[in-house]
Amino acid sequence: MTMRWMAVCLWTALAGGGEPPAITLTGPIERFAPDVVSTTFSEVRLTLSPDGNTAIWFSRDRPGGAGGYDLWISRRSDAGWSPPAPAPFNTLGRDFDPAFSADGRQLYFCSDRPGGLGGDDLYRVAISGDAFGAVEWLGPAVNSAGNEFAPMLSPDGERLLFSSDRAGGAGRQDLYVAARTDAGFAPARALAGGVNTDADEFDATFLGDGSTIVFTRAADLRRDRVDLFVTTAGPAGYGPGRRLDGEANHPRYDSYAPMLDWSRPDHLLFSGRRDERSGVDVFRVPYSLAAGR
């Protein structure tokens, strides 16, 4: 464990380092769509359409997809959630980390399909009703020769938040942001402030205010438990963050892949395990922002 990581752990163990909690979990944590979405398989980073009727997530091991990592879709009707179906644009490789835009007209995701710069790159696909358009690579301003994970467009549609292990970061996975332009996106830059460390920071989501961020951190995601953290923007950027209070983090199992619920923006979705018998499930919990946020 590095000295810098120890300092971050100490900072978050204290009373927020002077930073008040950014959010408070205000209700019970519910398992999302048991036996349809949350099953014995690993179900990760679910995103909901603004009308709440389409759920898209990825699974590492659900059978019936095109490859090992696939995106899955379930649609809600009066009869409940439909049986999951693989997304029509899955490949034989890794397709994962979906995120609706706030207007529901685009889906951002990651893939290692041919045509990228290397590793996992960021893509999007247009949505019209229940139909998907052509898959679009987000280009070299966003993607790198490293791996890019967990894209999410801000509620105002102006900033793309994601993580990357590209060269030049503070650690392995760091958080980056790219401003949206008429031509696509401006060159990505590391998220300002002290949020990126020599640990792994990844899987980030904006909350409903478009400023507060919930993200995942581990000293080393390959061997250490991962937990959810929250940080807020200040004059110098985002602070180191603090471990999310409440029961979202489990004392034994990983909690990760947070995502704002576009259909209920005062709710947070995340993935994790709660016992040895279950797979990785999706959970939803209501939250409130601290005063002034």
- Tell me, what's the pLDDT at 16? 36
* Buried/exposed code over 143-177 (b: 16+ C-beta within 10 A; e: otherwise): bbebbbbbbbbbbeeebbbbbbbbeebbbbbbbbb
Domain containing residue 94: CATH number:
2.120.10.30
Residue 85: both structure tokens together: 């179906």
**Closest to 262 measured CA to CA, from 41, 27, 19, 55:** 55
pLDDT digits (tens, 9 = 90+) for 129-173: 999 999 999 999 999 999 999 999 999 999 999 999 999 999 889
Q: Of 71-80, 133-142, 241-250, where does mean pLDDT reach its minimum?
A: 241-250
E strands present in 60-173 = 70-77, 80-81, 85-86, 95-100, 106-111, 121-128, 131-137, 148-153, 159-164
pLDDT digits (tens, 9 = 90+) for 36-72: 999 999 999 999 999 999 999 999 999 999 988 999 9
Q: Residue 222: is its pLDDT beyond 90?
A: no
Please count the structural domains in the chain. Answer: 1
- The pTM is what? 0.92
Average pLDDT, the chain: 91
Question: Which structural domain, as residue segments, surrounds residue 238?
Answer: 3-289
